[in-house]
Chains A and B, each alone.
Chain A
Amino acid sequence: NAGVTQTPKFQVLKTGQSMTLQCAQDMNHEYMSWYRQDPGMGLRLIHYSVGAGITDQGEVPNGYNVSRSTTEDFPLRLLSAAPSQTSVYFCASNRRGGATDTQYFGPGTRLTVL
């Protein structure tokens, strides 16, 4: 299994540009999430999905959109990039079961907005 994969690894955008960060998992996990990581602030939840066709907002959703058309993929779209969105973005997935299960992270995308 490849686990959780993310592309691209690095990206530089200009203010106002849009782009999509890709995330895929091959573990048949129902739950997928997007986090951003800023220095000294840990990981903050942007959006999450509990299954195909179902998404919801996390702690910091403004400026981002998501969709979940398949179990495997969970892309994150930046609508109009701003310097405040400079961060490292992690996608994660975990299984839905009777008890909470381990969350697996992708390798991350380092985004710089100029």
Chain B
Amino acid sequence: GENVEQHPSTLSVQEGDSAVIKCTYSDSASNYFPWYKQELGKRPQLIIDIRSNVGEKKDQRIAVTLNKTAKHFSLHITETQPEDSAVYFCAASIGYGQNFVFGPGTRLSVLP
């Protein structure tokens, strides 16, 4: 079955710096890769996603890149702000795309 690894598990950056979180997946049939942000005590919220026919997608300060050959995808956050502090999860679709396997999460701390 699909296995998703995520690195690093914790990440601290200074406000204004960039943050990069990387995920790898094992199933070449996976074709949809969402990223979720989860604040303490809250539900996961989708922040950006990418489909397998696209190599890169950007939404303001957030971007995601996908390398299907290498089976890895990355989240890039530029000009980080304290409100970016949260746990970030990557995920990969499985089956017919109705379900997902999640990475273990990255705790991002943005230091003022």
A interface list, Cβ under 8 A from B? 31, 33, 35, 40-45, 48, 50, 58-59, 90, 94, 96, 99-108
A89 to chain B minimum Cβ distance, whole angstroms, is 11
Contacts of A90 in B (CB 8 A): 43-44
8 A Cβ contacts from B73-112 to A:
89, 93, 96-105
| Most B C-beta atoms less than 10 A away, residue of A35, A43, A101 | A43
| Neighbour of A103 across the interface among B34, B51, B101, CB < 8 A | B34
A105–B104 CB distance below 8 A: no
- C-alpha gap A79/B43 in the complex (Å): 25
| Most A C-beta atoms less than 10 A away, residue of B93, B98, B104 | B98
B interface list, Cβ under 8 A from A? 1, 6, 9, 31-32, 34, 42-46, 49, 51, 89, 93, 96-105
Closest to A105 in B: B43
- C-alpha gap A41/B9 in the complex (Å): 11
A102–B34 CB distance below 8 A: yes
A40–B104 CB distance below 8 A: yes
A33–B99 CB distance below 8 A: yes
Contacts of B31 in A (CB 8 A): 100
B98–A48 CB distance below 8 A: yes
- C-alpha gap A38/B102 in the complex (Å): 12
Contacts of A58 in B (CB 8 A): 99
Q: With A40-B104, A96-B98, A99-B97 in contact, is A105–B44 under 8 Å at CB? A: yes
B39 to chain A minimum Cβ distance, whole angstroms, is 12
Contacts of A48 in B (CB 8 A): 98-99
Closest to A50 in B: B98
Closest to B4 in A: A42
- C-alpha gap A96/B89 in the complex (Å): 22
A99–B51 CB distance below 8 A: yes
Contacts of B104 in A (CB 8 A): 40-42
A31–B98 CB distance below 8 A: yes
Closest to B1 in A: A59
